[in-house]
Amino acid sequence: MPADTSTAPAPDPADAQDAPDLRIQVAPGASMPTRAHPGDAGLDLASAEDLEIPPGGRALVDTGLAVALPSGTVGMVCPRSGLAAKHGITVLNGPGIVDAGYRGPVKVALHNTDPVEPFALRCGDRIAQLVVVPFLAPALRQV
């Protein structure tokens, strides 16, 4: 009998019933993070302010969010490939790290790599992605 080569669709991790909650506080006028497609790893983060990043410049952009990540996870703030490819905008310290115990504002350090053109951001523009992943915290032992 030949092997079964049929493939079932992969389960959608976004629909996992046992997934822990990601609690998010959204400031007035800010946007709740969204996934572009069900099951995407990255949650799109949007700017909560209007500003312009000069050529070669950088800006710390407020998302208007505060998060409570589940214990045993870390949030990685990653660049959006479209912004990088089309406009030369990237996350300066990418990925930025949001620890599970951090409860302050989530801000994104953006860098405009274009040497000539400024980049205008408007409130609601998608600027980065937040990817929440589990991590190991090994005990430190000096040797």
Output the average pLDDT for the chain: 90
Beta bridge partners of 120: 52
Q: With pLDDT > 70 as the criterion, what percentage of the chain qualifies?
A: 88
CB 91, CB 30: distance < 8 Å: no
Q: How confident is the model at residue 8 (pLDDT cuts 50, 70, 90)?
A: very low
- What is the reported pLDDT for 18? 77
DSSP element (H, E) containing 81: helix 81-87
Q: How confident is the model at residue 118 (pLDDT cuts 50, 70, 90)?
A: very high
Question: pTM of the prediction?
Answer: 0.84
Pairwise CA distance, residues 93 & 115, whole Å: 19
pLDDT tens digit sequence for 88-108: 999 998 899 999 999 999 999
